[in-house]
Amino acid sequence: MGRLKLGILISGRGSNMQALIERFADPDSPAEVATVISNRPEAAGLARAEAAGLPTTVIDHRGYADRAAFDEELDLALSSAGVELVCLAGFMRLLTPEFVEKWRDRVVNIHPSLLPAFKGLDVHNRVIASGVRITGATVHIVRPEMDAGPILVQGAVPVAQDDTEDALAARVLAVEHRIYPLAVGLIAEGRVRIVGDRVEIDGAAPVDGALLNPDAL
Ligand code: GAR
């Protein structure tokens, strides 16, 4: 069986993209990055992808009349690169239901919260303001509704009492860089089944232990 061909979509820094590139750099790994596409020409992640020797494409959304026209171009670029799984990595645009249905079960996203809590933007400030003591990150299969769809992997971190947005974002990002390669690897190994609204993973390690915050003082 060949390696699963990934198409990574970015809009900015591309640190999650980088984590995927590193995880699947080894030719013996179960996936390979076929292409990196950005909707913003100034995205810093483009240079990181080029430094890794990967083909990059800019599809500037400002050059398209509407979402449908942009998504058609995206679809063309992904198909012509032979992409089998689309990985949204800080891609800050909503995809049309038509695109999502065409690529059904073949688009994954990472979001910096424990979904279904804190969908949308400005997540860490809203987390801090809400008073929750645990947050995290989620990798999920994309459905037409924003930040929704069957959940593949989640990672949790504590929220500190005096947290700042930056400090919390950094703590969550470190978890993102672990769970995104993990989730994509599980798909590439053929261990993931989508059953209704849930994901079943073959041979997932049984979970033990709990994260308490505050822990016993
Ligand atoms: C990440 O924290 C990612 O979870 C978030 O944007 C950041 C991108 O960072 N994505 C979303 O908020 C999507 N709704 P990166 O460009 O360094 O990977």
Is there a domain that residue 169 lies in? yes
Burial of residue 21, with CB atoms counted within 10 A of its CB: 0-12 exposed, 13-18 middle, 19 or more buried: buried
Is there a domain that residue 201 lies in? no
Whole-number pLDDT of residue 205? 86
Run means of pLDDT, 10 residues per run, the chain, 217 residues: 95 98 98 98 98 98 97 98 98 97 98 98 98 98 97 98 97 98 98 98 90 88
* 8, 9, 15, 16, best to mutate for ligand 1 pocket (most atoms within 8 Å of CB): 16
Please tell me the residue having the least CA distance from ligand 1 atom 7: 90
Is there a domain that residue 216 lies in? no
Residues with CB under 6 A from ligand 1: 10, 12-16, 45, 89-90, 110-112, 147, 173, 176
Is there a domain that residue 213 lies in? no
Cα(217) to centroid(ligand 1), Å: 34
Q: Which residue has the tokens 């994954």?
A: 108
CATH number at residue 17: 3.40.50.170
Rounding to the nearest 10 degrees, give the CA dihedral for residues 130, 90, 75, 154. Answer: -60
The string of DSSP codes covering 48-110 is HHHHTT--EEE--GGGSSSHHHHHHHHHHHHHHTT-SEEEESS--SPPPHHHHHHTTT-EEEE
Do residues 60 and 41 touch, judged by C-beta distance below 8 A? yes
Nearest ligand 1 atom to alpha carbon 89: 18
Q: In whole angstroms, how far apart are CA 214 and each of 86, 123, 133, 184?
A: 38, 21, 8, 32
Is there a domain that residue 38 lies in? yes
Is there a domain that residue 202 lies in? no
Whole-number pLDDT of residue 169? 98
Please tell me the residue having the least CA distance from ligand 1 atom 8: 90
Whole-number pLDDT of residue 135? 98
Cα(16) to centroid(ligand 1), Å: 7
Number of domains, the chain: 1
Is there a domain that residue 71 lies in? yes
177 is catalytic: no
Is there a domain that residue 85 lies in? yes
Domain that holds residue 150: 4-196
Whole-number pLDDT of residue 206? 81
Please tell me the residue having the least CA distance from ligand 1 atom 5: 90
